[in-house]
Amino acid sequence: MMGVDAATAPVVVAVTRPRDQAGSLVSALEGEGLATVVVPLIATVPIRDGLAALDRALRSRPPPTWVVVTSANAAGSLLAALVRTGLDPASLRVAAVGPATARVLAAGGVAVELVPAEHTAAALVSALGPPVSGSGNRVLLPVSAIAPTGPSEELSRAGWEPERIGVYRTEARPLGPGDLSALGGAGVVTLTSGSAARAYVTAMGVNQGHLIASIGPSTTAVARDLGLEVHAEADPHTAAGLANAVSRLVRGGTRGISGGQ
């Protein structure tokens, strides 16, 4: 398929996040002068038993030393749990994997004490360091049911006692003809989670002619394991970083960009 010269034809960038989470990336991409289309590939489903377990963990005594929040979805689950339990957010020490997650928490009245300079779960675990002797070492992690276990394992190696609770799961969203047409007509597809990468391959396969831009190394690893070529990765691993990576990819002039169908 012949590519389209990015200098003479507009390149449409597909944002595959759920619509209620797509705004920051759409704004960042449009701030780079790029056209966007929102095609959600995944939906988030709460896990009832996991939410009940989170409530119990928050009310337990002694309380967790830290609550580590690694996604906006997990932040929303924590905020809802605080409402259900009536706990004072000030009673918790909360760490967030990145500024977007921290903003969700702050908007809900939760002060975030720690955000690592590098916006990855591994960097957050490293920033926590080892527990202080005698001060407790329990760390609560509300996460996706299919979240990588690496952070929990690193916390354990550092001397913490992680309590990992799956509070939501992500499912591939069925795509209608309009969704498939919009996605197929995009030149660049952005992936912001491993779940989105899996849903993309399920819907489109691996040879659709898209350029693929990933928000970070864990998403990139999943995409490559699925057989996708990742052409750009955000640095930093934020909406702004992803938009900048896409802009450089589109305007780099190293290859043409074509729609997927």
Condensed to tens digits (0 to 9), the pLDDT of residues 71-89 reads 889 999 999 999 999 999 9
| Strand-pair partners of 68 | 95
Q: Residue 4: is its pLDDT beyond 50?
A: no
Q: Is residue 5 part of a domain?
A: no
Average pLDDT value for residue range 169-196: 94
Query: Is 61 in the same domain as 139?
Result: yes
Query: Is 239 in the same domain as 193?
Result: yes
E runs forming strands in the chain: 12-15, 35-38, 42-46, 66-69, 94-96, 138-144, 161-172, 188-191, 211-214, 232-233
In this prediction, residue 99 has a pLDDT band, given cuts at 50, 70 and 90, of: confident
- For residue 162, the model assigns a pLDDT of 95
**How many angstroms from the chain centroid is the CA of residue 95?**
16
pTM score, whole prediction: 0.79
Query: Is 61 in the same domain as 159?
Result: yes
Query: Is 95 in the same domain as 125?
Result: yes
Domain count within the chain:
2
Q: Is residue 157 part of a domain?
A: yes
Query: Is 30 in the same domain as 58?
Result: no
Domain limits for position 35: 12-41+173-251
